Amino acid sequence: MDSIRHHGTINILLKYCGWAASGIACDINCVISQVIIKLSSHGHRTSCKEGMIFVSHDPIDVETTQIFDRFTKEDWESYIDCYFDAGDPDDADDPIAWFRIPSREREAVIHLNHRAGKYVLIKLLQTDAVYEKIDLQYIGFIGYSGARAFASARLC
């Protein structure tokens, strides 16, 4: 996991490693259905309440995603309307989801529609003043790895 800060935006770059270390299986990709981001209820006040998620089979270049660092929800919606017919980006440098973390709940559950990939970039956007530190309690992923298709099928 790498964390890179640009213009007050925090980029968390993750790479799925599969079970290669155990020698049992070598899944090289996974499918993510949900991401859960929870802010800490203790400690420093955070200004990151919105963000975007990128998922790709190819490495994600954080530098090329800087154009999204100052995006708002309205910018996101305009971008999706202009560049994606079905609202389903295919490029590693395109965001696939927008999220907002409600102040009271301090948690967001982001549905990704079973997106497959090896690399995930979570871009936490600054919505207030720039703080030196943000407190994240938890980032969790719900999904699966390995084959999820039938070897053969027959229509009845």
pLDDT at residue 69 above 60? yes
CATH class of 2-145: mainly beta
Residue 31 has a CB neighbour count (10 Å cut-off) of 17
State the pLDDT at residue 7. 60
pLDDT of residue 120: 94
**Gap between the Cα atoms of 14 and 2, Å rounded:** 7
pLDDT (average), residues 38-55: 77
- Pick the closest to residue 121 from 39, 45, 64 (CA basis): 64
**Cβ-based burial of 145 (10 A; exposed 0-12, middle 13-18, buried ≥19):** middle
Would you say residue 14 has pLDDT above 90? yes
Look at residues 19, 13, 18, 39 and name the one whose alpha carbon lies nearest to residue 105: 39
29-43, 75-89, 114-128: lowest mean pLDDT where?
Answer: 75-89
Window from 3-7, 37-41, 59-63, 89-93 with minimum mean pLDDT: 3-7
Q: Rounded to two decimals, what is the model's pTM?
A: 0.79
Structure confidence at residue 56 (pLDDT): 92
Name, of 72-76, 83-87, 128-132, the range with top average pLDDT: 72-76
112 half-sphere exposure, CB direction, 13 A CA radius: 27
Average confidence (pLDDT) over 45-51:
72
* Residue range 98-143, pLDDT digits in tens: 999 887 778 899 999 888 889 999 999 875 555 556 678 889 999 9
Tell me the pLDDT band of 95, cut-offs 50, 70 and 90.
very high
Three-state secondary structure along the chain? CEEEEECCEEEEEEECCCCCCCCCCCCCCEEEEEEEEEECCCCCCCCEEEEEEEEECCCCCHHHHHHHCCCCHHHHHHHHHHHCCCCCCCCCCCCCEEEECCCCCCEEEEEEEEEEECEEEEEEEECCCCCCCCCEEEEEEEEEECCCCCCCCCCC
pLDDT the model gives residue 133: 63
Residue ranges of the domains in the chain? 2-145
